[in-house]
Each structure stands twice: as C-alpha cells, then as structure tokens.
Amino acid sequence: GGDGDDFWTPGAKPSGRRVKVQVHKKIYKEFTDLRIVQEIGAHKGAVWSMKFSLDGLYLASAGQDEIVRIWQVREGHGNRGDGGDPSSGSAGSATFFHQKPYRLYGGHKADILDLCWSKTQFLLSSSMDKTVRLWHISMNECLRVFSHTDFVTSIQFHPVDDKYFLSGSLDEKARLWSIPEQTVVDWVNVHEMVTAVCFSPDGKKAVIGSYKGKCRFYSVEGNQFEYITQMDVKNTRGKNSRGKKITGLQYMPGVERFLLVTSNDSRIRMYDGFTLCCKYKGHRNANSQIASGFSPGGGFVACGSEDGSVCIWSTINTFIPSVNPFYTGYRSDKNASCEQFLAHDDIVTSAIFAPLSDDVTARVSRNLGIAPPTAAAEALVKPSLKRLGLGGKTKADQEREDAQRAGDMAMKAAAAVGQTIVTSGFSGEIRVFENIGLPIWL
C-alpha cells in the first residue's frame, strides 16, 4: 500500500477519502476505515448545536448566524428516505445529506445555543435573544415564542409527552413549559447559572447542570419539581477540584441508569444512578460548550475537541471492572483508551452519531451473524466472573484479560461498522464521516 500518506486533512476536498484514525491505549481498533463523505458550508460563523430528528431523516443545525437550517438525509441513508431527488448534487447518492437546506428558520435575533426535536417532528431552538422558538418540519414559519429573562442555554422536549419541554437559563432557573398553554407550569431556582438540562428517558426526572459543575436531580412527576439529590462533578483533588461548567447531559439510549456528563475540565463522566463509574479523557474542552454523545446503541461515546479532533471511546470496556468489583464496584479510573481523528482546523463544536439506518444493521448482521449494536447496552449490565469469586488472579492478569475480553466483545459486536459521525466547526462547515471497516486486533 503506497497510500500511507494519502489521507484527507481538513481543508482538502472530501470525495470519500480515508481519514487517519489514531488509537490510544487500546489493543484493538474499531474505526478501521473511516472516510469523509461530505462537507457542507452550512453557516456563517460557528455552529453551536446540531441534532438529528428521532427518525434520523433530518439534521437541524444552528449557531452564530441566528438561522436554523434543516438538512434532509438522502434516500438510502435514512431509515426510510421519503422522496429526495437523486439527480441533485454532483456526488450522486454518495453524499449523506442533500447539499442544500430543506428549511431555513429565521426569527432569532442572537446566537442560537441549543436545539431539540420531538418524536412528532417539532423542533425547539433556544437563543441568546432570551427566547425559545417552536417550529415544525412541515412549515416554514415559527409557531410559538417562549420568552425568558436571560440567555436560554439548553432545552429538551419531555420524552413521553411532548406537549411539555424543559428550559435552562443563565437567570439560574430551570422551567417546565406547557406548549399548548404557552406558560411555565413549574420552575426551580438552582442559584447558579444553568448550562445544561435533560430528562431521564422515562420523563420522570429532570437533571440540571450548572456553571459551577453541579448536577441537580429533580422528580418532575405531576409536572412539579421535587428535589432528589445533587452531585458535584469534579475531581476530589488537584486543579480540577473546583467544579467546571457542565456543557452536556445525555442518558444512554434505552438504559435509564447511565448518564453521560460533559464538563469544562476536559472530562466526560459516566454515572450509574448517582455513582461515578467512569471518566473519559483524551479530548480538550476547557472553555467551549462542547457536549459528548452516545452512538445509537450506546456502544460508543464521541466528543469534539478544541484541537480540531474528534475522540471516540468504546463503552464496552468501561463496565469490565479491573479489580474485584465485589469490593470496589466500578473502576472509576480514567478511560483514556480512545480513537481520535482530525476533523476541523479549529474547534470541533459538535460531533454526533447519525441514527443507524435499518439497512446498515441488517447488512452487518447478515455478513457477520451478530446482534445489532444494542448488545453493547446489554453487555454493560452483565455480572463479572470475579464477583462470583471465580478468579484468584493478579491485577495485571485481570487487566490483560479484561482488555482481551473487551476486544473479543468489540470484534463480535463490530458496532463501529456503518457508524456515521457528523461534525461541525467554528467556521460554519458541517462534515460527514463514515466508518466502513471491520474491527481489527493491533
């Protein structure tokens, strides 16, 4: 192979070229054939938020230029591509999105900070103009405006009843809104600027992340905030022993237990309930509002970085404790085992997985006779042999075995095949990367 140095670099034309993926502290590699398949000059200025619709057919993006743009996934890429003219766009069906936006939503008067879709294709956008706006994919005009007293940093639709949404603002309040009544049903003051909010997947709890690194949990059953508990997201000692801004909150798809928390100490933490079970590191997120996110089956976590790269961690080995779990529970050491690739010349403001299209899962399982990626989620909660007292091994033996077992599981799951990662940058471009290679031992 004389193609060793023929890798794509930011600034070059995309056209399906290979992207160099570096592996840190892993004995196997999962993103073995990553390619850049599309680039869109989407916005003027930074993109602050990108979100796929729940059916995977549309991507919303927004940021500094105050306009929400909706991009339609091309037929064959989405779950059930509706329409879409294959003749538009020079690269034919190789591109992931139609090159021109499907909708342009104007109305905000300052930077847009967050976006959220409902399962019925409504979209919320929140802004530094102190408003949240409601849109629907079938219409060009704004349907509702929800006024606040300060920047609205974060929003989320209620996952079960999307007549309600949660908003977080720099005025230190989180609010539960009724869309039909256009009123605040209940609110809570957390006495610190709110920088991230989310619901648990069943909609029964709200999590509120603050500027000083606190995570507060509330019950919101009956649409009333009731305080449950608070976590300090920080190290116990050292320079990060003061909490840093929470920049993202996300529950693992389909698993109520696991919450992913991104913060400005360049760490991502996974909590099982209220217990820290893993810290991911390798990216740089010291002053940006970068959030990490799960792949569709929860098998991977991806995060943008201030150095222009994207880091990807496998969650499978997170949950293989390295010492006897009977005594220590989770290994809450740092998981620095990641794969990393350069995506932009400046800050990667967003790096998100596309919802997996049916055909990819089908293709993978046909070829390899393996379970779809949600197997990763099941693997997380299996008991370990060690807990059953079945091993009298040294810690080093155990760690070697764990690494081997994580690798075996990763090989079997081949969860990275067909994964698509969409990234956005400080200068307004959106790029699409797709992994077509199977995992390999290194």
For 161-193, how does the pLDDT look when each residue is reduced to its tens digit (9 = 90+)?
A: 999 999 999 999 999 999 999 999 999 999 999
Tokens of 355: 């919802």
**Residues 6 or more apart whose Cβ sits within 8 Å of residue 125:** 60, 62, 68, 105, 108, 112, 114, 115, 132, 133, 135, 155
Q: Are strands 275-280 and 334-335 parallel, antiparallel or unpaired?
A: parallel
Residue 230: how many other CB atoms lie within 10 Å: 13
pLDDT beyond 50 at 85: no
* Between residues 254 and 121, the one the model is more confident about: 121
Higher pLDDT, 388 or 186: 186
Closest listed residue to residue 338, CA positions, set 328, 356, 329, 351: 351
On the question of pLDDT at 329 being above 70, the answer is: no
Please tell me the predicted confidence (pLDDT) of residue 362: 46
pLDDT of 383 strictly over 80: no
Q: What is the arithmetic mean of pLDDT over 55-79?
A: 90
Comparing 87 with 357, the larger pLDDT belongs to 357
The upper half-sphere exposure of residue 258, i.e. CA atoms within 13 Å in the direction of its Cβ, equals 28
Overall average pLDDT of the 266-290 stretch: 93
pLDDT at 71: 98
The rounded distance, in Å, linking the Cα atoms of 44 and 65 is 6
> Across residues 50-66, what is the average pLDDT?
97
Over residues 236-271, the pLDDT tens digits come to 777 767 899 999 999 998 777 899 999 999 999 999
**pTM of the model as a whole:** 0.86
Split at pLDDT 50, 70, 90, the class of 107 is: very high
3-state secondary structure of 213: coil
Q: Which residue has the higher pLDDT, 251 or 393?
A: 251
Here the tokens at position 145 are 């405006």
- Distances in whole angstroms, Cα of residue 189 to Cα of each of 198, 205, 210: 16, 16, 11
Q: Is 76 left (phi over 0), alpha (psi -120 to 50) or beta?
A: left
Q: Is the pLDDT of residue 114 over 80?
A: yes
Look at residue 60 and tell me whether its pLDDT is greater than 70.
Answer: yes
155-180 core/surface letters (b: 16 or more CB in 10 A; e: else):
bbbbbeebebbbbbbbbbbbbbbebe
Tokens matching residue 142: 């704004």
Instruction: Identify the pLDDT of residue 129.
Output: 98
| Element holding 364 (H helix, E strand) | helix 358-368
- What is the number of residues in the chain? 442
More confident residue, 4 or 269: 269
Q: What's residue 28's pLDDT?
A: 85
Average of pLDDT values for 410-422?
Answer: 85
